[in-house]
Amino acid sequence: MQSSVDYSGAQQRVIFEEYPIKQVVAAAGSGKTRTVIGLVEHRLMVGLEQPGSILLISFSRRAAGELRMRMRADLRSAVEIRTFHSFCYHKLRSHAPEFRDNPPRIIEDRERRAVLRALMRADPEAESIGGIPYSILIQQLVEFELHFPGMFRRVQAAYARYKREKNALEYADLITLMLDALRDDSIEWAARLRRRYSLILVDEFQDTDPRQLEFLKLMNPARIVTVGDARQSIYGFRGATLGPFLNFQKEFPGARIYDLNENYRSLSPIVGLSERVIRTARTRMPGKKTRAIRGQRRLPVLALRMSTGAESDLVARLSPAFERDPAGLRILVRTNFRGRQWERAGCTSSHWLTIHKSKGLEFPVVLLDMMGGWSSCHSTQNGRRALRKGRVRFDEEELRVLYVGCTRAMNLLVLLYRTDAEVGEIERHYYERIFANRVREIEAGELMPWLERARSLREM
């Protein structure tokens, strides 16, 4: 077991203080994973929890895998580490009579889109949607139901039949079935499941949706610990909401709130600029101002001036850096479409990531693509007119996406922006309102020496 000296004072309070319900508000780079593992290992080592009584839930397979890998080998088997969906699937398949002998398969997103598109195309009202792409309706089911209720009901009914015939479930169905079982006191296996865990720890709690919150309440363990950062809540399109995080003490009266606000990942200029991004949001984010621990070594945040179509030139300049240190540099983009544009410019698929895919990762150098793909609240004609006049209201979740992108950088953050961006383009307003006059603007020919300086920091 690591000595408590290895943890900061804030981390020690999370690990060692005895409160049945804890909410840990953990800023980017604050040692969240290390603290979670320290808490679990401490409680097992001193006998406060028994092997098999701890459930650790995360929201992605990668995050769950990292938690498992970083835990002590001799304690790893004593903790159940799963995603929400894998937990539900495993328990349903193991215990629910209807699934034990005939386990369902999981419909992946690609199959789901293809089936729904075919059902829409075959619907009697298919011609009434006025040319709206099916892909848009599939992504925006609330709008689909609102504007085309008859078609929506028929398509959903046909899709439910398809799943029954194929013995298939979506990920969302897994949680629905688990909640149905937990609500029913007459289901013996669900009652045993509620008694099994004395501690449930939820990682990335800011990505919780209302049904996952209900799951936590129905399980009702003796101790609950949630860890997350409202500033990194970027999965609204999947149904995640900030409500459970912001109202945690109302949902769980008596909860103790802890702040981890020391950033061990990024240099001070990166932390400072990231804080400015999040302060631009109207919604007040919980947690104290983040303090950079690595502030003694300073590199400025850079802004690389580029013109439309200049990606190929930049990729050629970066090629030696990619070859010399493949893990040290990433281009982060807002959308997959922008990533494919970088690939057409000569970038390989291993050199770029969407910001959503980069969440939870860190890189010595981040080139943050501010050249296209970003969204705003100004999709209407009046909204676009307001945008052109400079009356900008930024989309709250987009600002959080921008924050996540900035905080992936350890030593050097380079913003890529177009000097020929028009007044009505949201990327220009992001740059001018948030970053301009707070970064050092450079030309492409000046970039390589800065990359070398960032690399030297990595090797110290």
Could you report the per-residue pLDDT of 234-286, keeping only the tens digit for each? 887 777 788 888 889 999 999 999 999 999 999 999 999 999 999 888 777 77
Structure token digits, residue 348: 């390989």
| Of the listed ranges 43-52, 143-152, 158-167, 370-379, the one predicted with least confidence | 370-379
What is the share, in percent, of the chain residues with pLDDT greater than 90? Answer: 67
Comparing C-alpha atoms, which of 214, 143, 139, 142 is closest to residue 176? 214
Give the Cα separation of 126 and 134 in Å (integer). Answer: 10
C-beta of residue 302 within 8 angstroms of C-beta of residue 270? no
Q: Are 58 and 83 in contact (CB under 8 A)?
A: yes
Mean pLDDT of 343-363: 94
Give the count of beta carbons closer than 10 Å to the beta carbon of residue 201: 26
Of the pLDDT bands very low, low, confident and very high (cuts 50, 70, 90), residue 378 is very low
Average pLDDT over residues 66-94: 93
Between CA 415 and CA 410 the distance in angstroms is: 14
Q: Is 387's pLDDT higher than 60?
A: no
Burial class (CB in 10 A: 0-12, 13-18, 19+), 445: exposed
Name the residue among 349, 346, 312 with its Cα closest to residue 330. 349
- Number of neighbouring beta carbons within 10 Å of residue 335: 16
How many C-beta neighbours within 10 Å does residue 372 have? 18
Range 116-121 average pLDDT:
92
Tell me the CA end-to-end span of the chain in Å, nearest whole number: 28
Q: How many CB atoms lie within 10 A of CB 114?
A: 11
The domain 268-459 is classified under which CATH number: 3.40.630.30, 3.40.50.2000, 3.40.50.300, 3.20.20.10?
3.40.50.300
Q: Which of 265, 329, 228, 234 is nearest to 25 (CA)?
A: 228
- pLDDT (0 to 100) of residue 391: 60
* CA–centroid distance for 151 within its chain: 33
Burial class (CB in 10 A: 0-12, 13-18, 19+), 49: buried
What's the pLDDT score for residue 385?
56
pLDDT tens column, 55-75: 999 988 888 999 999 999 999
Q: Is the pLDDT at 380 greater than 50, yes or no? A: no
pLDDT at site 42: 96
Sequence-separated (6 or more) residues with CB below 8 Å from residue 82:
55, 56, 57, 58, 64, 90
Please tell me the class of the 4-92+173-260 domain.
alpha beta
Q: Which residue has the higher pLDDT, 385 or 277?
A: 277
For the segment 81-109, the average pLDDT, to the nearest whole number, is: 92
- The domain limits of the chain are 4-92+173-260, 112-165, 268-459
pLDDT of residue 177: 95
- Rounded mean pLDDT, 353-358: 94
Residue 52 has pLDDT above 50, yes or no: yes
Query: How do residues 125-156 score in pLDDT, each as one tens digit?
Result: 888 887 788 887 887 787 888 889 999 999 99
Round to whole Å and give the CA distance between 333 and 352: 7
What are phi and psi for residue 385, nearest 5 degrees?
-65, -40
Mean pLDDT for 384-395 is: 61
Residue given tokens 């609204």 in the structure block: 236
pLDDT of res. 214: 94
Give the pLDDT confidence score for residue 240 in this predicted structure. Answer: 77
Residue whose tokens read 């290895």: 6
Domains 4-92+173-260 and 268-459 in one fold: yes
Q: In angstroms, what is the C-alpha Rg of the chain?
A: 24
Residue 380's CB is within 10 A of a number of other CB atoms, namely 9
As a whole number, mean pLDDT of residues 445-456 equals 90
Token reading at 320: 């030696």
Question: What confidence score (pLDDT) does residue 318 get?
Answer: 94
CB neighbour class for 185 (10 Å; exposed up to 12, middle 13-18, buried from 19): exposed
pLDDT digits (tens, 9 = 90+) for 277-310: 998 887 777 777 899 998 666 789 999 999 988 9
Q: How far is residue 230's CA from residue 362's CA, in Å, rounded to a whole number?
A: 19
pLDDT of residue 298: 76
